[in-house]
Chain A
Amino acid sequence: MTKEELISSGKLELYVCGALPSEEISEVEDAIASYPEVKKEVEEIEASLISLAETVAPPLPAMVWTSILNSIRNVRSINQSGTSTNWAAISGWAAAILCIGGIIWMLQQNNTLKEDILITTTENTELKSRIDLTEGKLTSVTDLLAIIGSKDYNAITLPGNAAVASEAFAKVYFNETEKIAYFDGTGLPKAPVGKVYQVWSLKLDPLTPTSVGLLGSISENDTGIFKFENIPDPEAFGITLEPEGGSESPTLSQLYILGTVSP
């Protein structure tokens, strides 16, 4: 049957009325799917029949729709409280749990970060105090360099006593007018435990030693330079190794350094 034959057959009208035998329905539906003209014809038949039915319908009260809404909502709420799964509630709870989990995670992150900050702050403080220390040292060294480099100070290298320590030497920066001397003991061997280097100011004729002071532990003093004041007019300086605390008079067998002030 061609589409024109189908349109004029009267089958489409029966199809819309629901009066077409079931074995003929697929033929009509195939034609509707394939031919827009057939589809349009069916739509027009339907539209005219709907108009006719509307025409003979009494006025429809709005209450009917309200009743329909009420009954479909009741049916739904019964279904929900019964067998059906309440997805809204489940997803709500899931969201709440996720949210709490997220908050806990963020709190943990926050704590970790706070600890990190604390550690970093401590490290910073340590670094800062180290910088302060270093700066302090630098300042004292710079000051020292400024002092011993000035023209008021004579730099004297005191040689080691060949009999006791030929390799040793000491340097002294001496200000004759102000009677101040800086001793650099870095050229001396490390003093044994229980012993200390003592500096002497010497008059040579007759040999009169006067104690200037102790060099203390060289290793404990970073610069290894010691300042002494109120030095009596010396002709020479000597350094001896003495028992801890120093001695009244130099132990000459332990004379490490001996050198005159003026060349």
Chain B
Amino acid sequence: MEQPNALILEMQNGNEKAFSRIYSLYSEAIFGIINSIVLDESVAEEILQDVFVKIWNNAKSYDINKGRFFTWLLNIARNAAIDHTRSKASKNSKKNLSATNFVNILFDSDSLNQKTNAIGIRNFVDKLKPACIKIIDLLFFKGYTQADAAKTLDIPLGTIKTRNRNCIKDLRTMVLG
């Protein structure tokens, strides 16, 4: 997907319509990310709301010549969700950030059944290798660094990059055909 730079520029100039288009393009994925971290749909909704208000208010701090817009959104969303989990973790240490991955959520959540393509989704997530689920969960959903991911997965640092690439390659074949 080519990045919608024209929309982004208009949003930066305060165009609400452009912002609304951006919301419909990215909100679902960002919601998925946040939910995989906070593990609570209503909390995830609140954080998503805060994240998009932040995006609107700080739209000008994104530079279309530097970095992907989606990656910028991803960082804001993960940081907001992780901040929330940390402040909550002091009260309730039961939920550990790395203990549950996006696939567990997928099969835990009943509401997902309402999705029209729920079966197809399960199919392609099912096909991902368990090692891939783990590495994609850490690097993409949880925002781990290579070093942290290597430590958590107990594999050499040099393996992270290639394994991640191969896993995303599999994902691409499944998603994009």
Contacts and interface: CB of A to CB of B under 8 A. Distances in A.
Given A10-B162, A53-B30, A55-B121, A45 B49 contact: no
Contact of A57 (B23, B31, B176): B31
Nearest to B57: A75
A98 to B, nearest CB: 26
Interface in A27-43: 29, 42-43
Given A14-B164, A19-B144, A64 B175 contact: no
Given A11-B161, A48-B168, A19 B1 contact: no
Interface in B62-77: 66-68, 70-71, 74-75
Interface in B1-59: 1-3, 16, 19-20, 23, 26-33, 35-36, 41, 44-45, 48-49, 52-53, 56-57
B155 interface: no
A58 B121 contact: no
A68 B52 contact: yes
How would you classify the secondary structure of chain B's contact residues: helix, strand, loop or mixed?
helix
A51 B124 CA distance: 11
B134 to A, nearest CB: 14
B98 to A, nearest CB: 15
Contact of A55 (B3, B26, B32, B75): B32
Contacts of B139: 13-14, 17, 19
A86 interface: no
A221 interface: no
B165 interface: yes
B171 A43 contact: no
Contacts of A43: 1-3
A153 interface: no
A97 B133 CA distance: 67
Contacts of A58: 31, 35, 41, 44, 109, 111-112
Given A14-B164, A57-B32, A29 B16 contact: no
B68 A53 contact: no
A72 B75 contact: no
B97 interface: no
Given A52-B136, A54-B29, A15 B71 contact: yes
B141 A53 contact: yes
A42 B103 CA distance: 24
Contacts of B74: 17-18
Interface of A: 8-19, 21, 25, 29, 42-61, 63-65, 67-69, 71-72, 75
